[in-house]
Amino acid sequence: MKKEKMVVVGLLMQVVLLLGKGFAAELVQLDPALPVYEKVGGISGTLNSIGSDTMNNLMTLWAEGFNKHYPNVKVQVEGKGSSTAPAALIAQTAQLGPMSRPMKESEKDQFEARFGYKPAEIRVAIDALSVFVHKDNPLSALSLPQVDAIFSKTRRLGYPRDLRFWGDLGLEGPWVNRRISLYGRNSASGTYGFFKEHVLGNGDFKDEVKEQPGSASVVQGVSADPAGIGYSGIGYRTSGVKALALAEQEGGKPVEPSPENVYDGSYPLARFLFVYVNKPPTQPLPPLVREFLRFILSKEGQAIVVKDGYLPLPAKVLLEERAKLN
């Protein structure tokens, strides 16, 4: 069953890879100071990963790369949303919990109530959460308060009125009376949570947001719907959609989700991607988990990040995270 799922995930991933990527790989330079992965002996067994859908392809690619070094290791990846990661780590059905948002305090409480210590948090990559419209949509930039007014019924960022038609955003011609069609993620998603926190100011989504089970279906929905707008990690960008430049405030300068803008902090929706693991504070990690994380936090692992359309960690952050493994 799981194996079949892996195959399906693998196939889907190939499709996604063929369709095009988030950050064009040739534009992103890997930090030369990143350490190269060194293979160690005596690694075998099964690794389970349950969590973020945004990171589903990434985890699968990492698993494949890891398998090249250790053919005896089986890595199973399941991605239904970041909120499934804490539940799986607590139930010990997974050793790796990829999440596209930081774990909530209440989730850490539940973990701690079970094990007596907090889960270890490893930053593994950088994502620019992007707002997509159909490729034929003439719009190229929005402000966050506008995005809030499009997606939210609470409008906490203070945009004065509700935005329901593309004409409300100043588009002309056939767009004037075209109703904005909203695509979003389901509530288990960390992307949903991040968007809700940073774009909606923790307000509430409109009821008519079509909740999709995965980032790929959000992007697919928008690319098939000329009136559509949706959000997902930049890694899911395809040629059928356009990622909008975003301004933090009404009237501010819109910023493209480009690598430079993400690294210098000017793109407002940049975020870290995490992997959580169960590490007793006084004990070392199990060798298999440790090696997998070391692989992720190596030049090779970060090259895979680039391949999947996300941004690699700067060497300084990466070394900090590596230090947590010991």
Partner 1 sequence: MTEFRVAIGKRRAFRRRLADALAHGVATAGGLATVLGIGTMLLFLTAEVAPLWQGARVQLEGRVPLGEQPSLLWVSTDEYRELVQAIRADGSIEWRRVADGRVVHNSRLPGTEGLGVEAVQSPRSGQVVYWRSDGVLVAANVVTHTEYTAAGRALRPETAELGRWNLLPPGQTPRLFSTGAYTDKGISAAWLRADGAVEWWSVREQRSLLGGGRQVEMREVIRTADGARVQSMVLNHAGNQLLMGTDEGTLEVWQRGPSASQLIDRRRAADRASISVLAFLLGERAVAVGDSAGGVSVWQLIRDPQTTTGHRLVRIHSFRPHQAPVVQIARSERDRSFVSADSTGTLLLRHSTSEQTLAEIPAGSVRFLVFAPKGDGLLQITLGSEARAWRLENPHPEVTLKTLFGKVWYEGYDEPAYVWQSTGGTDDFEPKLSLVPLVFGTVKGTLYALLFSVPISLLAALYVSQFSPPRLRSAIKPVVEIMAALPSVVLGFVAGLVLAPAVEKHIVGVLMALPLAPLSVFLAGLLWHACPAVVRARMPHGGEVVVASVFLAITGYFFWVTSAYWEQLLFAGDFRHWISEVGLGRFDQRNCLVVGLAMGFAVIPIIFTIAEDALANVPQRLVSASLALGATRWQTAVRVVLPAASPGIFSAIMIGFGRAVGETMIVLMATGNTPVLDWSVFTGMRTLSANVAVEIPEAPFGGTLYRVLFLAALMLFVITFIANTLAEVVRQRLRERYQRL
> Where along the sequence are the contacts to partner 1 (CB under 8 A)?
80-84, 86-87, 90-91, 101, 104-107, 109-110, 116-117, 153-156, 160, 177-179, 186-188, 190, 192-194, 196-197, 202-205, 207-213, 221, 224-225, 253, 280-282
The single-letter DSSP state of residue 45 is E
Burial 159-190 (b: 16+ CB within 10 A, else e): beeebeebbebeeeeebeeeebbbbbbeebbb
Q: Which is nearer to partner 1, 32 or 281 (CB)?
A: 281
**CB of 30 vs partner 1, minimal distance in Å:** 26
Place of tokens 């098939």: 224
**CB of 47 vs partner 1, minimal distance in Å:** 19
**CB of 231 vs partner 1, minimal distance in Å:** 13
Q: Which is nearer to partner 1, 81 or 259 (CB)?
A: 81
Residues 219/241, Cβ–Cβ less than 8 Å:
yes
How many CB atoms lie under 10 A from the CB of residue 300? 19
Q: Which is nearer to partner 1, 60 or 83 (CB)?
A: 83
Cα 248 to Cα 246: distance, rounded to the nearest angstrom: 6
**CB of 273 vs partner 1, minimal distance in Å:** 14
317: amino acid identity, one letter: V
Q: Which is nearer to partner 1, 19 or 87 (CB)?
A: 87
**CB of 25 vs partner 1, minimal distance in Å:** 29
- Quote the strand ranges of the chain, DSSP E: 45-51, 73-79, 96-99, 120-134, 141-143, 181-185, 210-212, 228-233, 241-243, 245-247, 270-277
Q: Which is nearer to partner 1, 66 or 159 (CB)?
A: 159
